[in-house]
Amino acid sequence: MRRNRQDGQSAPTAWAYSPAPEPRAIVKLQPRYGLFINGAFVEPHSGRYFTTLNPATEEVLAEVAYAEAEDVDRAVRAARHAYEHWSKLPGKERAKYLFRIARLLQERAREFAVLESLDNGKPIRETRDVDIPLTIAHFFYYAGWADKLEYAFQGRTPRPLGVAGQIIPWNFPLLMAAWKIAPALATGNTVVLKPAETTPLTALLLAEVLQQAELPPGVVNIITGDGQTGAWLVQHPDVDKIAFTGSTEVGKLIQKAVAGTRKRLTLELGGKAAHVIFEDAAIDQAVEGIVNGIYFNQGHVCCAGSRLLVQESIADLVIRKLKRRIQLLRIGDPLDKNTDVGAINSLPQLQKIERLVQVGMQEGAEIYQPDCPLPERGYWYRPTILTNVSMAHTVAREEIFGPVLSVLTFRTPDEAVQIANNIRYGLSAGVWTNKGSRYLEFAARVKAGVVWCNTYNKFDPTSPFGGYKESGFGREGGVHGLLPYVAF
Ligand code: ADP
């Protein structure tokens, strides 16, 4: 079966695939989840619960406890109590728990992948091949460090900090939990983790895995709630460290809240990455990289390559190929193994994307979207390309956090660096060129924590990740990721 789609400029032909849904029966949802405090699921103090939805269908998946200040306090006290024992365990004993968690996650990988797709809306292909394997790799990696800390910081003796309050976003729910929990535990800290309000379910399933691993009670506590819950955690006087991943706006609030206290802080915030294509690049590969850079995870990626900078001499060619390519992306059921682009995570996020694209068009951008069918229910946004954009445009400066690419052009390598750096963010960048000297020079001059050369969105637990400027500070991953959790 073949289906023709045309945009007036080109006529690619997409294969129509039969549905290939991943069965969801492997996930056993409970109607209601309590707070995970001191090794057990408990009722919230207020008795309040909220719902979490499947954004692809708007179906309610479960009710989740709302943690208020009293619950935050209970969780912090449990973590403090557990710290007395956990921080004194030899590193090789802590490592055993981390290895055990990693192995249990491997055994239950499919269950986690399906649940993550249900609660987040991202395609099963990504949860199965990216989120869950990377989560496991993180636990394995930091398990390896737990008994070798003196080699990580040669000549110095690292000490844990105490209780870490960790607040994570909804775009990579389980993976962000692993980025936070694994290095904290490896270094001897205990944890109170707050998942995002729209995606709490895989963190709660992780709590079950922690029970299965017989992690001592209180070493990791998981409290669900909204921004207010997060704020209570940040303000709690007995928390020694805050690690936050989320929006720059909330990051600034948190930085103000901890200013003048003894709390240590790391922030991983927003981005507006420059993805630079030089005229000597391998164009077809670069087009694949651009697609991966912005449409992976519906563009809900802080390091997404959302600002495409193309050298003027090849701009028409690249844009033409890109438009052709995105007509072939499959949008729809996240549980279908052929789906490339899933659902937008929530209605407010969808409205934010729509509003920013509207502003872009009012400011003169030209919009291109494939005319693919969208499901009737749920939150959906077509992969979008905005051309005729300059750095004066809102869509070139603001983080959209959706499948929307803003295209700009440049003439010289100097101009590419200048446009790339002309932004308040500095999380990531990408560069495509045939010349090693050119990408090395670009990487040295661009103010971004991560620079990908002739590839994009590659993650590895051994490699540090984090930002410059308003993208935050502190690194996660690699030996650098241990540093925010130790004192000397
Ligand atoms: P996004 O814009 O990606 O939704 P947010 O920064 O709003 O990101 O949210 C990221 C995480 O921060 C979520 O877990 C959210 O509940 C939490 N959060 C939101 N507001 C606050 C706040 N004022 N203090 C602490 N945590 C917060």
Q: Name the helix (H) or strand (E) containing 344.
A: none
389, 360 Cβ separation under 8 angstroms:
yes
pLDDT at 387 over 50: yes
Q: Which atom of ligand 1 is nearest to the CA of 253?
A: 23
Residue 287 has pLDDT above 80, yes or no: yes
Q: How confident is the model at residue 3 (pLDDT cuts 50, 70, 90)?
A: very low
268 catalytically annotated: yes
Residues 95 and 108 in one domain: yes
Looking at the fold, whether 54 and 129 belong to one and the same domain comes out as yes
Please tell me whether residues 87 and 223 are part of one structural domain: yes
Interval 132-161: pLDDT, tens: 999 999 999 999 999 999 999 989 999 999
For 321-344, what is each residue's pLDDT tens digit? 999 999 999 999 999 999 999 999
| CA 41 – ligand 1 centroid, Å | 23
Structure tokens given for 95 = 């490592």
Tokens linked to 470:
């308003």
- How does the average pLDDT of the chain come out, rounded? 96
Cα 396 from chain centroid (whole Å):
21
> Is 238 in contact with 261 (CB distance < 8 Å)?
no
Q: pLDDT, tens digit, for every residue of 425-447?
A: 999 999 999 999 999 999 999 99
Ligand 1: does its nearest atom lie under 6 Å from the Cβ of 231?
yes
Q: Is the CB of 258 within 6 Å of ligand 1?
A: no
Percent share of the chain, pLDDT over 70 = 97
CA 435 to chain centre: 31
Q: What pLDDT was estimated at residue 7?
A: 45
Say which CATH number the domain at 54 has.
3.40.605.10
Angle at which helices 201-212 and 173-186 pack, to 10 degrees? 40
280 and 265 in a single domain? The answer is no
Angle at 137 between CA 462 and CA 336, to 5 degrees: 125
Region of 50 (left: φ > 0; alpha: ψ -120 to 50; beta: rest) is beta
pLDDT, residue 477, reads 98
The pLDDT > 90 percentage for the chain reads 96
Q: What is the mean pLDDT of residues 85-105?
A: 98
Q: Is residue 378 part of a domain?
A: yes
Separation of first and last alpha carbons in the chain: 65
What CA–CA distances, in Å, run from 38 to 91, 133, 195, 250? 22, 27, 17, 28
The rounded Cα 215 to chain-centroid distance in angstroms is 26
Whether 6 is covered by a domain: the verdict is: no
Ligand 1, residues 64, 168, 224, 250: which to mutate, most atoms within 8 A of Cβ?
A: 250
Query: 230 CB under 6 A from ligand 1?
Result: yes
Per the CB < 8 A criterion, the answer to whether 220 and 210 are in contact is yes
Lowest mean pLDDT, pick from 6-10, 45-49, 264-268, 347-351: 6-10
> Given the CA of residue 250, which atom of ligand 1 is nearest to it?
6
Report if residue 438 sits inside a domain.
yes
Question: Does 361 score more than 70 pLDDT?
Answer: yes
Same-domain check for residues 237 and 328: no
Residue-number span of the structural domain to which 85 is assigned: 32-269+471-487
In a domain, 2, yes or no: no
Active-site residue, from 22, 197, 268, 476: 268
- What pLDDT, on a 0 to 100 scale, did the predictor assign at position 13? 60
Residues 8-24 have pLDDT tens digits of 444 556 677 899 999 99
Which token pair is 244?
A: 């936050």
CATH number at residue 452: 3.40.309.10
Rounded average pLDDT over 445-473: 97
Does residue 465 sit within a domain?
no
Name, in order, each residue with C-beta under 8 angstroms of 80's C-beta and a sequence gap of 6 or more.
162, 163, 190, 238
* Whether residue 352 sits in one domain with residue 216: no
More confident residue, 10 or 270: 270
- When pLDDT is averaged across residues 168-174 and rounded to a whole number, the result is 98
CA gap 391, 389 in Å, rounded: 7
Q: Which stretches within 156-215 are classed as H helix?
A: 173-186, 201-212
Q: Whose CA is nearest to atom 14 of ligand 1?
A: 196
Q: Is 247 in the pocket of ligand 1 (CB under 6 A)?
A: yes
User: Are residues 103 and 216 located together in one domain of the fold?
Assistant: yes
What pLDDT score was predicted for residue 56? 98
Q: Are residues 166 and 284 in the same domain?
A: no
Residue 5 lies inside a defined structural domain of this protein: no
Distance, in Å, from the CA atom of 267 to the CA atom of 245, rounded to the nearest integer, reads 6
Angle at 133 between CA 129 and CA 134, to 5 degrees: 110
Per the structure, the count of domains in the chain is 2
Give the position, in ligand 1's atom list, of the atom nearest the Cα of 233. 25
Looking from the CA of residue 234, the nearest atom of ligand 1 is: 25
Do residue 138 and residue 284 come from a single domain? no
Q: How far is the CA of 232 from the centre of ligand 1 (A)?
A: 12
Q: Distance of alpha carbon 322 from its chain centroid, rounded? A: 25
What are the two backbone dihedrals, phi and then psi, of residue 430, each rounded to the nearest 5 degrees?
A: -135, 150
Q: Is 372 in the pocket of ligand 1 (CB under 6 A)?
A: no
Residue 342 lies in a domain: yes
- Distance from Cα 248 to the centre of ligand 1, integer Å: 10
Residue 2 pLDDT: 38
Claim: this prediction has a pTM higher than 0.85 = yes
Query: Distances from the Cα of 446 to the Cαs of 5, 266, 412, 425, 451, in angstroms?
Result: 39, 22, 14, 11, 8
Q: Do 77 and 151 lie in a common domain?
A: yes
The model's pLDDT over 236-266, given as tens digits with 9 standing for 90+, comes to: 999 999 999 999 999 999 999 999 999 999 9
Residues 43 and 95 in one domain: yes
- Residue 331 in domain: yes
Please tell me whether residue 488 adopts helix, strand or coil conformation.
Answer: coil
Distance separating alpha carbons of residues 161 and 164, to the nearest angstrom: 8
Q: Are residues 310 and 187 in the same domain?
A: no
Instruction: Say whether pLDDT at 6 is over 50.
Output: no
Annotated catalytic residue within 302, 303, 398, 470: 302
Catalytic residue check, 302: yes
pLDDT confidence band for 4 (50 / 70 / 90): very low
Six token digits for residue 88: 């004194």
